[in-house]
Structure 1
Amino acid sequence: MLHKKHLIIICSFFFFIACKEELKTSFTEIDISTEDNEIVEINIPKAIGNKAIADKINSEIQKSIIAALHIGDPDKITSKSIEESIISFNKEFITFKTDFPETVPEWEAQIDGEVMFQSSEITSIAITSYTNTGGAHGALHISFLNFETETGELINNSKLINNIEAFKDFAKPYFDEALKENDLVFDTETFELPTNMAYSEEGIVLLYNTYEIAPYSVGVIEFAIPFNEAEPYLVFNSL
């Protein structure tokens, strides 16, 4: 009996170790700034652990932030690092302020990231950016990044769902309910899935950024479908 008890304890121990080893990557929060920077604040997760996996994830996070700080044609981004983008954003503000000294309010950029979900198969990260470059109102934009936990490879939306057309029909009632709960009314006959979909503790989240499907006044539209209901359409296991 004692021998069996020891065997159970040993097996349980190795099972625990195996589960811990499944997640080769963890995350820490970092703040990024540069000298003389007072208008850009960045707080994001940084992947650590397995270097090959972490480097892929961190590279995609970096690309997302560089794009968020870029002013002008998105096809003409030249910055190679977040720090370089912060410096460029500050320089753009100084130039604009010099050209229009009496009309330009202070610019600002706030970028925050969070790990929404992490399992043995998928890791989902949200990057929220708010930039104000002197217009009537600032620009809020949220980007979801999904990664294969085992490899760090970025997952396209088309690879999250096993049947896009069937999932659209399935998701439409949840979308309509989200509009109803927020007292929003507009034409939803031509329903399309959003650019941003990700896993979260509440289920798979669908998010429409401002202007994506409705006027600015509507704001961000977001809703979650529980995993137990969406499971037939999901490629990745939520456990």
Structure 2
Amino acid sequence: MLKNNYLLVVCAFFMLSSCKEKTQITFYETNLTSKNNHIIEVNIPLAIANDKVAKAINSTIKSYIITALQIEESNDSVIKSVEESIENFNNEYNSFISKFPESTQEWEAQIDGEVIFKTPYIISVSLTAYTNTGGAHGNLNISFLNFNASTGETIENNKLFKNINAFKKIAKAYFKANLEDKDLIFDTENFQLPKNIGYSDDGIILLYNTYEIAPYASDIIEFSIPFEVVKPYLIFNRF
């Protein structure tokens, strides 16, 4: 009987060890391009896709890039890969040049990413996309993607906190303090959390993209709240 119990304990140990190993996602830096790429640079982290968790993370990251490179005027069929997106972007540029050969406007797209936080429980990735299709100025957008390290699924902002309203009150105070050294005035009474909230080594990071707060807010606003301040409200609070 004791021998059987011992075997059960050993089996359980190896099962738990196996599950733990599956959560240790490893990333590598990669450059995604195409043979006809002239004006696009994509440098992002991808998970080593040896299981469905890593594949789910990669799928989400690549979907972001496909969307970032999408040109509204394009009537092409649904694009399914980053390489297709790059080809389509180049084709649209070549089409523009054919129609307006005298134009001196240059197109470009630069997408960079990095893993800003990683534990066996949560992974945060930052993606910065800059695109310019010949307008007066380009479009810069930064996005945080939070992943459940056990499943590869993205975590919505409201699923990061046990009590998002309590967190919002803390964030509001840090937001107001962050504006003290800036020549900006906002109605903090109508404070809203940003679309981008992520984990970083400095704590919970909040980022407002250009014009996210107000039409005249032309700068990116970014600040962090230390973990020790918000840890009681975090669902993923094991670091």
Contact 1:25/1:50 (8 A) holds in 2: no
- Does the residue aligned with 2:89 lie in a helix, a strand or coil? helix
For structure 1, which segment, 117-126 or 47-56, has the greater mean C-alpha deviation from structure 2 after superposition?
Answer: 47-56
Distance verdict in 2 for CA 1:188–1:235, change over 3 Å = same
Deviation at 1:86, TM superposition (A): 0.3
Q: How does 1:110-149 map to 2 (within 5 A)?
A: 110-149=110-149
Matched, 1:40 2:40: yes
C-alpha distance in 1, partners of 2:235/2:95? 48
Residue 8 of structure 1 is matched in structure 2 by none
Residue 62 of structure 1 is matched in structure 2 by 62
Distance verdict in 2 for CA 1:217–1:156, change over 3 Å = closer
- Does the residue aligned with 1:181 lie in a helix, a strand or coil? coil
C-alpha distance in 2, partners of 1:99/1:186? 44
Residue 191 of structure 2 is matched in structure 1 by 191
Distance verdict in 2 for CA 1:77–1:123, change over 3 Å = farther
Contact 1:122/1:147 (8 A) holds in 2: yes
Contact 2:197/2:207 (8 A) holds in 1: yes
Contact 1:196/1:207 (8 A) holds in 2: yes
C-alpha distance after superposition, 1:107-155 (max 9, x if no partner): 0000001001001210000110000111111110011110111111111
Deviation at 1:162, TM superposition (A): 1.5
Residue 51 of structure 1 is matched in structure 2 by 51
Matched, 1:209 2:187: no
Contact 2:57/2:152 (8 A) holds in 1: yes
TM-score for both structures, normalised by structure 1: 0.86
Deviation at 1:217, TM superposition (A): 5.5
Identity of aligned residues (%): 54
Aligned length: 223
For structure 1, which segment, 91-100 or 56-65, has the greater mean C-alpha deviation from structure 2 after superposition?
Answer: 91-100
For structure 1, which segment, 211-220 or 53-62, has the greater mean C-alpha deviation from structure 2 after superposition?
Answer: 211-220
- Does the residue aligned with 1:182 lie in a helix, a strand or coil? coil
Letter in structure 2 aligned against 1:233: Y
TM-score for both structures, normalised by structure 2: 0.86
For structure 1, which segment, 215-224 or 162-171, has the greater mean C-alpha deviation from structure 2 after superposition?
Answer: 215-224
Distance verdict in 2 for CA 1:73–1:118, change over 3 Å = farther
- Does the residue aligned with 2:26 lie in a helix, a strand or coil? strand
C-alpha distance in 2, partners of 1:228/1:109? 38
Deviation at 1:104, TM superposition (A): 4.5
- Does the residue aligned with 1:213 lie in a helix, a strand or coil? coil
Deviation at 1:48, TM superposition (A): 1.0
C-alpha distance after superposition, 1:49-99 (max 9, x if no partner): 64111100000000100010001179x971100000000111111112222
Q: CA RMSD in A?
A: 2.3
C-alpha distance in 1, partners of 2:89/2:163? 41
Structure 1, unaligned runs of 5 or more = 1-13
Structure 2, unaligned runs of 5 or more = 1-13
Distance verdict in 2 for CA 1:73–1:99, change over 3 Å = closer
Deviation at 1:167, TM superposition (A): 1.5
Residue 4 of structure 2 is matched in structure 1 by none
C-alpha distance in 1, partners of 2:47/2:162? 28
